[in-house]
Amino acid sequence: MKRRLRFALWELGLVAAGAVPGAMLRWRLGVQIGPLLADGATGVAAANLLSNLLGSFLLGVLAGPIPRRTPLLLLGGIGFCGSLTTFSSWMLDLVRLNGQGQPQEAQALLILSLVLGLAAAAAGLATSRWLWIRPPGPPRSQR
């Protein structure tokens, strides 16, 4: 029982250690990048889209064939990417844009988020495969 509790605390620590920088990056993107991209709700939505795309790509990288990945997935996947990305803010952005008389922007955000998010995750997986799966070298007799 004690051993399992220590392991659970270790896992919790990894998730928490990754969550803090992920949340801070998301907040900084919203504060510094959002206003550069657009005004008001559109700027907030653009910053959230950027956070979600970055998190989708990174999670794709982490979900690939990385050796000994369990601690890395807890730290980077669940902790960092989980706090960097946000479904609830995305939904709120869609509601706010629509409520502020910007239904075309809301529809564009919906479509862009889905298409670019899937592309980012796929690009992350492809990057992970490229980094970790090497084609076998030539046989020793040909070296």
Q: Alpha carbon of 57 to those of 40, 81, 98: distances in Å?
A: 26, 9, 28
Residue at 86 is within a domain: yes
Residue at 68 is within a domain: yes
Q: Is residue 25 very low, low, confident or very high in pLDDT (cuts 50, 70, 90)?
A: very high
Residue at 64 is within a domain: yes
Q: What is the pTM of this model?
A: 0.84
List, for residues 2-20, the tens digit of each pLDDT value: 777 777 889 999 999 999 9
Residue at 87 is within a domain: yes
List, for residues 27-54, the tens digit of each pLDDT value: 999 899 888 888 887 888 899 999 999 9
Residue at 21 is within a domain: yes
